[in-house]
Structure formats: C-alpha cells, structure tokens
Structure 1
Amino acid sequence: MHPIPWRAYALLAASTSLVGSYVGLSKLLVAVFPVFLLAGLRFGFAAVLMLPWLKKPADEAPLDGRSRLLLFLESFLGNFLFSICMLFGLRQSSAVVAGVIMAGIPAAVALLSWAVLRERLSGRVLAGIACAVGGIGLVALGKHDGAETTPLGALLLLAAVFCEGCYVVIGKQLTANLTPRRISALINLWGLVLVTPLAVWQGLSFDFGMPRLLDWALLGYYAATASVVTVWLWMAGLRGLPAAKAGVFMVFLPISTALVGLLLGESLSAAQALAYGLALLGVLLATWPAPTTAR
C-alpha cells in the first residue's frame, strides 16, 4: 500500500481555502479600486515580495522555449484573464453566487484533461460535470435576496472557472522542471507585464487618497495571498500528486468563498443551498479517486 501524501493534501487544501477567502474579499476591493488598477497593484506588490524567488537554483536547467510558453500561458490564463473575469464578474453577482459557480472548477479540469491530455472521461466524471452545470444554472439565471446575477456576470465567472482549469493543467506540466517558488515569481511577473498598461490608464484618473487604511490592508492581504502564498502552496502540492486527484481539493474554494460572503452579511437561499449541493456532488463525482482493483 502506498503511503498517503498528507503533506501534499494539506498544501492543496490550504491553497484553495485561501483562494476562496480572497474571492469573497475581492467584492470589497472592487468597490474601491478600478479592476485593472487593482490587478496591477496586486501583481506589483507581489513582485516586490518575490524578488528573491526569481533567481534560478543551481540545480535547475535553463528555461527552454516550451517552458517559456507554458509560463506565459499559465500567467495569461490563470493570473491575468482569471483575475479580470473574476473581478468583473463579482461586480455583477454576490460572493455566495460566485462560490457556487467556482464549484465547477474540478469539472472544468476534467474536461481540459480530456481535451489537452487526452485522458478518458468515465461515466462518473460526466455525471459530475452534469451536476456542476446544473448547480451553476440554478444561480446564474435568477434573483436571490435582491442580488441579481446578470447573464454577463455568470458568463465572466464561468470563464474564470475555465481559466483556473487551464491553470491546473499547465501548472502540472511546469512542476516537472521548475521549483514552486520560481514558477510563482515568473508567472506573477508576466501578470504584471500584461496588466500594467491598463493599470496605468486607470491609475491616471484615480484618487489615491480616497482608499482607507483598511482598504490598503485588504489590498496587501489580497496581493500576498493571491500571487504569493496560494500559488506557492498549490504548485508545491501539485508537484506530488496527479492533476486529477489534486482537482478534488478545489472543493475548498467555493466553501470558503461562501463563508466569507455569509460573514459579509449575504444570505444563503434554499435555491442556492440546493445549487451548492449539486455543485459539490459534481466535484466529488468528477474528481474522487476510483477504487484500485486488487490482484
């Protein structure tokens, strides 16, 4: 019997729980900072924190063309587009609704593994995808306690789900050759390059004296968790597990997102509770390890 990789499990659970917490807190930040400026400040703060991580370890091979392309795609899809889609989507939905939609990430990982890695999808995985889509549909089309999720908001959050799915699949390939710290620093640097022109454009007309000290503190937490801590934890955990098994730990993302939303005063309706049940059932069906056949 193979030993259970508890360390990898703990790293992945901690990473996705932190992601869920800052998804919920992002709702507060987008009310103060323009989206592109917020993303630029996040990447900028994180770049300063991770300067020592940019140095290549002595035992690491130089970056080849494939690794450079994967690093760019990891940042473009998993950092830049994910952040933009998520932040704009949150402006047109509640944190609780966003949490339900984010529950579709493991199903997206399964679909992308089939499309990109040519992994075979079992009937259980297909059933899980159907449950996740059903949960998404329940919240994407209605009004809940006065907070309406617009079709555009649901579409943007769904796009963020697939961006995060790409992040998992590409990240698994990167961990074969690069250390988790260097991956984190390099993809954050690409994110800063991509968003800087848009951030400068919005920053020119922004009153930097308007945010309160608490807003800047939340921004610091957002930058440290979103670009530094969660990425390093995820890459370190992903290095020791198959991508499909790691996907099950995305269940902690919607749970922590919803908890933050409830702490911020949002309510959970019966329809949303049913949607959560369907979405989390989809997570388990799509990503729970199949039993091994004894000889």
Structure 2
Amino acid sequence: MFRGSIPALVTPFRDGAFDEGTYRKFIDLQIESGSSALVPCGTTGESATMTIVEHDRVVSVCVEQAAGRVPVIAGCGSNDTRVALEHMRAAQRAGAAAALLVPPYYNRPSQAGIIAHFEALAEGCDLPIMLYNVPGRTSVDIHVDTMARLAAMPSVIGVKDATGNAVRVTAQRLACGTDFCQLSGNDDMALGFMAMGGLGCISVTANVAPALCAEFQDACLEGRWGDALALQDKLFPLHTALFSDASPGPVKYALSRVLSDFPSELRLPMTEPSAASRAQVDAALLTAGLL
C-alpha cells in the first residue's frame, strides 16, 4: 500500500495556533514534489503538544487537502489505548488510509501488553495499522517475535522501523512475510534499509528536500544503486543537521530558510535550535543545493 518518500510532516504554528493556510500550501508542495504519501501528527508534527481536538483537526485538514492525490497515514499513537482508539476513529472518519501507532510509552508495557494494546485497537477500529517502533523515544521495543504475532492480524500491514538496527529489516522480513510493508524511520540509514527489502521511508528530511528524497527513493526502488548512493551523499549532511538539536527545531528552521514565510515557531517544551545547529543546517542546505 505504501512505498517511496513519505514526509513526517511538521505542523506550522503561528502565534501559538495551527497555521492551516501554510499547512495546506505545504501539503500541495509535498505532493507536487513527488512525495508518495503523507504523515500528519507524528513526532515531527509535535503531536505531543496538541489537544485531541487540534490533533484530529490537523489530520482532517491533511486528508482534505491531499484530496485523494496521495494516501494519508495519520499519526494516532498514545500511551492510553482509549485515546489512541479515539484518534483512529477520527482519522477513519476523515478519510485517512491508515494509522501510524507507537506502542504505549512511559507506562512501558510488557510484550504481552503491547499485543493486548494493538488487539484492542484492531477490534475497536478496522483502519489499517502501521506499527511505529521507536524505542529511543518510547523506551519500548516491539520484539521481532511480537511483531510477527501482530503482523498475523489482518489490519496490521507494516512497520515504520526507527530502531536504528539494520539487522531488523531482514529478521522482520523473515518473521512477518514479504507482504509486510517495512518503511525506514531513519533518513540516514534508508539506503541500507531499502537494499534489504524496505519499501520506503517516513522521512524528516523530505519536509525540506521533498524532490531529492523522492528521487532517492525512486532510485532505490528501481535498483539504481549508484544513483541512490550519489543522492545519499548529497543528502547525508542534511539528514545529520536536522538532528543537530532537538527535533523538530532544526527542520522548522530549515523550512524557514527555503520557503517564503514558513514559520519556525515551536511549542514548548521544544525551543529554537542553537546557533551551531542553525549553522550546520545552513551548510547542509548549501551542499544539497537548496540555498
């Protein structure tokens, strides 16, 4: 269902409020630049700082603006199963194609608890589920054998893997089957991920360089590994710079540099990137030919 370059969209804020007009223009730019799907309300979208009403509104606007041109994978994760289910149902009503869901964070369930969480979500809503395994943020890892059990559920269709462990791609492919959609959650590791059977990347860098990231993914999917390597080298400084301070500070700064009137505003507890981070972003934008 999903493949290619899929931006984990930032959420523009202006004077503390969701800037819907800028968001709609940004979605159009992403689609016109070759992004193959969109992810609103992920980590990069600052979903943790939104109310439930705001969160669901951002998803609804994204689906409405995409207007069927590309599918929308709505961020729906929560450490409260009931809240995650509310987000899933709202995303389904809005017309999202799938939900992106982390395992519960902070309360740190066991593997049995992770399975029970996703079973409850699948029973409560039939929207397709993309797992999001990011133990560096959640302190919870979906083990390979657990993922195989989840993959056996009809509505669990794939994973955004941000473990940073390249071995997982093959292990999960063997455990979950070749129809299980594996998407990289790490831009800097996407080349190796794709070579081992990945189908795309839910990308931070694609916010800033959507056309280059789409070109990179096309090269990987077509087996043009020389072209993909050249693009990896061109984009790697940007992949690194966008995490030179707490995300999404650097990516919002980068967007303010490459797009006219894109607000770099963040919601607390996120703060603007340091001077050193901004300088690194500027240098990386030059390397990528974006400035």
**TM category, shorter:** under 0.3
Larger Rg, first or second structure (1 or 2): 1
Q: Return the TM-score normalized by structure 2.
A: 0.28
Q: Return the TM-score normalized by structure 1.
A: 0.27
Select the structure that is richer in strand: 2
Select the structure that is richer in helix: 1
Q: Which has the higher contact order (CA 8 A, sep 6+)?
A: 1
